[in-house]
Amino acid sequence: MGGLKGFVRTPGVDARTRRNFSQLADDAAFITDSTTLELVSGVAEVQDLFLRNDANDTTVGILTMLGFSVNPGLADQDSVIAGDTEANLFYVDAGNDRVGIGTATPATTFDVVGELSAKNLTINTAEADLDSRFAGSGETNLLFVDAGLDRVGVGTGVPSLRFDVKGLPNTTFTNCPLLVQFHTTTGYVAGMGGGISLGGMYDATHSTTFGYVAGLKENGDISNTSGKLVFGTTVNGAGGADKTRMTILSTGAVGINTTTPDAKLQVVGDCKFGDDNTNYSTFETDGTLVFTGDATVWDDINVGGINLFGPLGLRPDIDEFLDEVGAGAGIYTYALAVGEALSGSFEMEHRYKEGTNFTFHVHWQGIVDPTGTKKVQWQLTYTIGKTGETLDAKTEITIETNIDTQYEFNQSNFTAITGTDIDIEDQFLFTLERIAASANEYGGDALLATVGIHIEIDTVGSRQISAK
């Protein structure tokens, strides 16, 4: 310290030093050339410690000490360092083993009354698992660190996850209570806002963002608060480039694989609905709707009975449908007796699932009282015409149906026709004939309503004019 001297005043206390310390008076000791000052006394009270200027005997206002010890190993005697306006700038409560700053009654081991500023603050470095807590007015667990479970709680002293926030929400937005807020302060340009990065380790030593969620300003207009929500993921390679997978605009439009949806929901690419890999519907990239597995549905290709044609000698008479009391309905069709037949044809429509089986069926009415249970038998003769090929050989199948009620409408379903090698635009050519029943022949005519086939469909139509 150069030419600095000093003395310690200890009224009524004997002051000694290990070296280079001399007694000045009963209440003072003079430090001549000492680096260690030790006060040995039964009373541990030092009222004043001064450094003096050797040249002009004035007090120097700065005291620098490399280290000092107050009351080592002695009785519990409190210590105080005071300031010009603060009586308890630093207070040691030796009896309770507590330290107070700005208070003479510290309530905890270290109690600060007033503002505390720290550039770097480390609590419990590499020590035992001791919890830490920051409290506020009315909130015991403003911030709580559960050191034993390595968790942090805000508003809770028992965090259940690595970071757990509990408390009363902000209700600025209807139906959306807010607990956490992330805002940027970078300009009012489009695409800026707050986001959350979600990621982890991708090898033994490196981590990355795997996905993100962000709320962004939708445009750069001043005072325009329109925002959008984006969801993204990273792809492998190319430095882990990010890709926005879904966007929700301020209008409510949702885009998947597009950031500019122009409908309430717009998907760019395939879109699949159903189970994982067996039964589902798919919107393909070109917009075609395709049904797979149980998602396929059944439909009809029908021809009105009156639209069929029969050659002379086989053509049936025309008769009128009757209502439930036998009155004429004013609607006419062919009425087939045994041995009469009609021919027709239709095309396998473009929604037909190529190669699948289909069922020919007949809707008809019996207008004569069957007087018990009687039978009507139908025979279907058919062949398939394919463009550029000759006709297949004809096939005949039959179906027999019971009738036991007068004026009853009936449906006769033939056994399924194998659809192997049958495609859209193939021509189904047929003759429907009423033939003799195996027994108990129905004596009345069978009035023909419609004939047709039940088909399975896997698309709404075909992708091309003449090909599936």
CATH number of 442's domain: 2.60.120.260
For residues 324 and 220, membership in a common domain is answered with no
409 and 375 housed in the same domain: yes
The pLDDT value given to residue 136? 79
Confidence of residue 441 (pLDDT cuts 50, 70, 90): very high
Residue 159 neighbours by CB distance under 10 Å:
21
* Least confident span in 67-81, 281-295, 430-444: 67-81
Mean pLDDT check: name the lowest of 85-89, 127-131, 239-243, 311-315: 239-243
Domain termination residue (choose one: 147, 181, 215): 181
Instruction: Quote the pLDDT of residue 14.
Output: 43
Task: Please report the pLDDT score of residue 66 as a whole number.
Answer: 43
Report yes or no on 110 lying in a domain.
no
> Is there a domain that residue 10 lies in?
no
Do residue 171 and residue 253 come from a single domain? no
- Tell whether 350 is covered by a domain: yes
Q: How far is it, in rounded angstroms, from Cα 113 to Cα 129?
A: 26
Residues 326 and 441 in one domain: yes
Q: What is the pLDDT of residue 241?
A: 64
Alpha-carbon torsion 408, 414, 415, 421, what sign? negative
Q: Half-sphere exposure (CA, 13 Å, Cβ side) for 382? A: 25
Q: What is the pLDDT of residue 431?
A: 97
303 and 197 together in one domain: no
The answer to whether residues 415 and 397 touch, using CB atoms and an 8 Å cutoff, is yes
Could you tell me if 342 and 426 lie in one domain? yes
150 within some domain? yes
**pLDDT interval class at 26 (50, 70, 90):** very low
How far, in Å, are 158, 159, 431 from residue 141 at the CA level?
9, 10, 87
Burial code (b: 16+ CB inside 10 Å, e: under 16) for 241-258 equals eeeeebbbbeeebbbebb
Whether 316 and 410 map to the same domain: the answer is yes
In a domain, residue 125? The reply is yes
For residue 353, with 0-12 CB atoms within 10 Å meaning exposed, 13-18 middle and 19 or more buried, which class applies? buried
- Strand partners for 232: 212, 244
Q: What is the per-residue pLDDT across 348-378, written as a single tens digit (0 to 9) for each?
A: 999 999 999 999 999 999 999 999 999 999 9
Say whether pLDDT at 397 is over 80: yes
Average pLDDT of the segment spanning 201-224: 90
User: Same domain for 164 and 240?
Assistant: no
Q: Is residue 104 part of a domain?
A: no
Domain range enclosing 130: 121-181
Confidence (pTM):
0.61
| Angstrom distance (rounded) from CA 437 to CA 211 | 72
What is the rounded distance in angstroms from the CA atom of residue 59 to the CA atom of residue 5?
Answer: 9
Q: Which of 310, 309, 306, 281 minimizes the C-alpha distance to 293?
A: 281
> How many distinct structural domains can be found in the chain?
3
Q: Is the pLDDT of residue 56 over 60?
A: no
32: tokens are: 């001549």
Give yes or no: residues 261 and 307 share one domain: no
Q: In what order do the strands lie in the sheet with 4-9?
A: 21-25, 28-31, 4-9, 48-53
Task: Please state, in angstroms and rounded to a whole number, the distance separating the CA atoms of residues 332 and 337.
Answer: 16
For residue 416, with 0-12 CB atoms within 10 Å meaning exposed, 13-18 middle and 19 or more buried, which class applies?
middle
Residue 68 lies in a domain: no
User: Contact, 341 vs 310, CB < 8 A?
Assistant: yes
Of 237 and 28, which is predicted with more confidence? 237
Residues 416, 436, single domain; the answer is yes
Same domain, 341 and 392: yes
User: Domain for residue 343, yes or no?
Assistant: yes
Select from 181, 206, 224 the last residue of a domain.
181
Q: Calculate the average pLDDT of the chain.
A: 83
pLDDT greater than 50 at residue 60: no
Q: Does 453 share its domain with 305?
A: yes
Q: Give the side-chain half-sphere CA count within 13 A for 128.
A: 1
**Final residue of a structural domain among 163, 181, 199:** 181
More confident residue, 460 or 15: 460
Determine contact, residues 306/315, Cβ cutoff 8 Å: no
Closest CA to 159 of 138, 133, 178: 133
